[in-house]
Amino acid sequence: MLRHAHWWQRRWVRYGALITLLTLSGLVILALVREQTGTEGFLVGLGLAVLPVPLLVAAFRWLDRVEPGPWRNLVFAFAWGACAAALIAIIANSFATRWIATATADPSSADTLGATVIAPIVEESAKAAAVLLVFLFRRRDFTGIVDGVVIAGVTATGFAFTENILYLGTAFGTDQLTGDTGIASVTAATFFVRVIMSPFAHPLFTVLTGIGFGVAALSGDRQHLRRVLVPLCGLLLAMGMHALWNGSSSFGEFGFFAVYAAFMVPAFGLLTWLVVWTRQRELRTVREELPAYATAGWLTPAEPFALGSMRARRLAREYAGRHLGKPAAREVARYEAYATSLAFLRHRGRRGRAGVDFLVRERELLNELWRRKDVARPALDHAARMTAPPVRVAAPPWPVYGVYGYGQGPAQGQSQGHSAGFGHPAAPVYGNPVGPSYGYGHGYGYPAAHGPGPGYGHGPTHGPGPGYQAGPYPAPHPHQ
């Protein structure tokens, strides 16, 4: 198929065209901003506008830690917002404002109309284009609400970065003409409003569009109306909130602060809660879906619990890095990402929302896990033991031989209870009470070959191998 594809359908052609488009947009926007602010104003605006960027990108990256998307998607989103979307906004806003001023012969009203109506429509549409492109061409990386929020937020961060350079550079030029310095300067006021008070303004607007695309990603292939209407509703909400924010200055002397306190802060808190709740639901999905693969032998019984806890994941990476170095920690991180993708894939399959490539994708993810199991499993096993919740173990009312000063007797068999340091050796475990199984506080029985504390280089190969089907029941086919 690739051999007979048209030249414009080849991947390297698409990548080359996209890189060329973003590069040209960046050069043009650089020239336009420098022309409006001057070289000195541009450098001052650049130095001040870059301050919130690392914090915002780190925040969105933190939200995406359950199933982290590739960096190339984030780089594309930021570049699109900073270059292409900003260029479209500057050209379209200027043209529309001039046209309205000429048609109405009222420049003041044209500026107000351009800021409250034209700018929200143009800017939010330009930023939404990046989310749409990732949704269409990187569908495998766009699986839910969190992915939409991250892509939209990073795109808006890039857009706000370029816009802040323009506003701060222009303010600095004004101060140069008037001689104002210090806190009373226009630059200081602009920096306080745009960088200190509302660095999240543009991301907040565009995140509404990202949530709409995230809901569409969770919809089935046959829900065509929902997949179209929900992103459009998100885009309209983003435009409405953007228009309210831009028009706050026309509501009176304290209109800006009223809109900020009554709408922006509550909306920011609500969306933050929604994203964090969605992230916790994703972790719960991991814990619920992966035991099927543990039953089939692809994963160890404790791995679903460890992979469903962010603290356990971090401990596993630290354990691998401490014993085998940074490359091993990166392999554990990849193992966690592939396992999470596998859980989400199975979740979509059980709900009838998987694509036609469900089985192929499942096999790819299982093979990636199998390749890294020797490095990842001991680390995850250690993390599972360290993070297992306490289990109350009631001592029997009669003396037990081998406990509390008594010797070990055959009545206890070989059963041992390991509940992350809780209980005593005679505590019952789930499964066969006289077999050599080890319980880790969550009812996961461990084969005796693992031992109570497996380390690197110990223990046999786990699981029956890649030839086995995953799960106690086959994954549903989307056409069945």
Q: What are phi and psi of 445, to 5 degrees?
A: -80, 135
Task: Give percent of the chain above pLDDT 90.
Answer: 45
Say what the pLDDT of residue 9 is.
57
Q: Report, as an integer, the average pLDDT of 62-91.
A: 91
Q: Is residue 29 predicted with pLDDT exceeding 60?
A: yes
Q: Report, as an integer, the average pLDDT of 215-242.
A: 88
> Among the residues of 247-325, which ranges form H helices?
255-259, 265-289, 291-296, 303-307, 310-324
Compute the distance between CA of residue 391 and CA of residue 269 in angstroms, rounded to an integer.
Answer: 36
Lowest-pLDDT range of 100-104, 230-234, 407-411, 450-454: 450-454
More confidently predicted of 10 and 18: 18
> Which residues in 155-180 are b (16+ Cβ under 10 Å) and which e?
bbbbbbbbbbbbbbbbbbbebbeeeb
pLDDT-based confidence at residue 431 (cuts at 50, 70, 90): very low
Q: Report, as an integer, the average pLDDT of 454-467.
A: 42
The CA-CA-CA angle for residues 299, 300, 301, to 5°, reads 115
Q: Is residue 376 predicted with pLDDT exceeding 90?
A: yes
Lowest-pLDDT range of 95-109, 276-290, 398-412: 398-412
Determine contact, residues 453/442, Cβ cutoff 8 Å.
Answer: no
Q: Is residue 428 predicted with pLDDT exceeding 50?
A: no
Compute the distance between CA of residue 452 and CA of residue 227 in angstroms, rounded to an integer.
Answer: 49
Proportion of the chain in helix, strand, coil states, percent, rounded to 5: 70, 0, 30
Say what the pLDDT of residue 64 is.
85
- CB 198: neighbour CB atoms within 10 A? 19
pTM attached to this predicted model: 0.76
Compute the distance between CA of residue 323 and CA of residue 334 in angstroms, rounded to an integer.
Answer: 17
The CA-CA-CA angle for residues 411, 412, 415, to 5°, reads 150
- CB 134: neighbour CB atoms within 10 A? 26
Torsion of CA 324, 328, 329, 330, to 10 degrees: 160
Determine contact, residues 400/407, Cβ cutoff 8 Å.
Answer: no
The CA-CA-CA angle for residues 12, 14, 16, to 5°, reads 65
What's the chain's Rg over C-alpha atoms?
Answer: 28
pLDDT, one tens digit per residue, over 148-183 is 999 999 999 999 999 999 999 999 998 888 877 777
Q: Is residue 400 predicted with pLDDT exceeding 90?
A: no
Say what the pLDDT of residue 450 is.
39
86: nearest Cα among 31, 43, 37: 31
Say what the pLDDT of residue 396 is.
65
Determine contact, residues 217/67, Cβ cutoff 8 Å.
Answer: no
